[in-house]
Amino acid sequence: MAEALSIKEPAREASSSGHNHWPHATRGEYLLGDFTFNNGERLAELRLHYQTLGTLKTSEDGKATNAVLIMHGTGGSSDQFLNAQFAGELFNPGQLLDAHKYFIILRDGIGHGRSSKPSTSGLRARFPRYRYGDMVRADHRLLTEHLGVGHLRLAMGTSMGGMQSWQWGEAHPGFMDALMPLASLPVQISGRNRLWRKMAMDAIRADPAWNGGDYPPSEQPRAGLTTALDILTLMSSSPLQYQAEAPTRDAADSFLERKIQNGLSLTDANDLLFALDASFDYDPRPGLHKITAPLIAVNTADDQINPPELGILERETRSGLKEGLGKVVVLPITEDTKGHGSHTVAKLWKHLLEELLLMTEKKADVKPAG
């Protein structure tokens, strides 16, 4: 899930001032005609929006050598990575994912950002019930059919994007050199993780103003959407983080009011409902043995959506992946961790990314694609 899930902050892109020297991203769109979803529903035209940084390079045999796919979380978009705490730690010259060295692909998944979604398609609640598997399949087509990428140096993602990293490894083994799922578990959504999602969805559906999803865009079901955003605010944060940001009663009340009002101004109820429901059939556990790329899975000890005390990440990585292929790191709570939102605070885990890249480095002569 995106930092603070669907309660989005305005996008901040590259700047030539300060310490941000990554190149401006190039935006693009790919239209997939007559796209059939796994449940049989269809869209005559599926629009996938994306941003890229850098130049694609290939080996002598034409294989892409420097492509990196980074996938956002629920309610997020490609914009969420173009800020100081992520791009500023990774994309600048000399950094781990130097955008002058790598071809970085940031896409808006189905139902998110500028890609096709209920609120902008005109379909509202009649939009196809997409699932994570549909998103991975569409992304694979974006890479192979449109961007000319038949191989990834790295596939990584945050929250929902982390879950899709596991799915990428299973669906397309050998397609990537390395995998880095952040803030995710390779098992079916269950327990409290399922409960809060269902609570948020039920709150939206229970609001009479939702009207089965057929409400005017200017008349959002505010009561149900407010409750859903309240739940997301709690689940995606950490006690230490919000105690520091709201140290008094009045500060806490004011903080929540600003947070929710911002969320209401940026969030469509159907978009959020569909995005949460997209996890319904997620369950990579039975197919973990298919993964062939080395993997480092990262979480923080204050993640309330994927609480480490469950031991799921360690158990499934150890039992499901081939021996020696996967590594799990749960980072301790610090003043810099932000609960589930730690997944986009790159300074917390970039040393593990460096380890993964070094572990999977291959020497090859490369040339610009084209």
Active site residues: 159, 303, 340
CB 92, CB 82: distance < 8 Å: no
pLDDT above 90: residue 287: yes
Confidence of residue 4 (pLDDT cuts 50, 70, 90): very low
What residues form DSSP beta bridges with 85?
A: none
The C-alpha atoms of residue 176 and residue 357 are separated, in whole angstroms, by 12
Q: Look at residue 20 in the predicted model and tell me its pLDDT.
A: 79
DSSP 66-119: SEEEEE--TT--GGGGSSTTTHHHHTSTTSTT-TTTSEEEEE--TTSTTSS-HH
Confidence of residue 367 (pLDDT cuts 50, 70, 90): low
Domain spans, the chain: 1-370
- Of 360, 348, 351, 352, nearest to 86 (Cα)? 348
* Alpha carbons within 13 A on the beta-carbon side of 62: 4
The C-alpha atoms of residue 135 and residue 69 are separated, in whole angstroms, by 13
2.40.430.10, 3.30.420.480, 3.40.50.1820, 1.10.274.10: CATH of 1-370: 3.40.50.1820
DSSP 231-264: HHHHHTS-HHHHHHH--SHHHHHHHHHHHHHHHH
Predicted TM-score (pTM) of this structure: 0.93
Q: What is the pLDDT of residues 54-98, one digit of tens each?
A: 999 999 988 999 999 999 999 999 999 999 999 999 999 999 999
Confidence of residue 362 (pLDDT cuts 50, 70, 90): confident
Q: What is the pLDDT of residues 143-180, one digit of tens each?
A: 999 999 999 999 999 999 999 999 999 999 999 999 99
Rg value, the chain, Cα: 20
Angle between helices 222-235 and 249-266 (to 10 degrees): 120
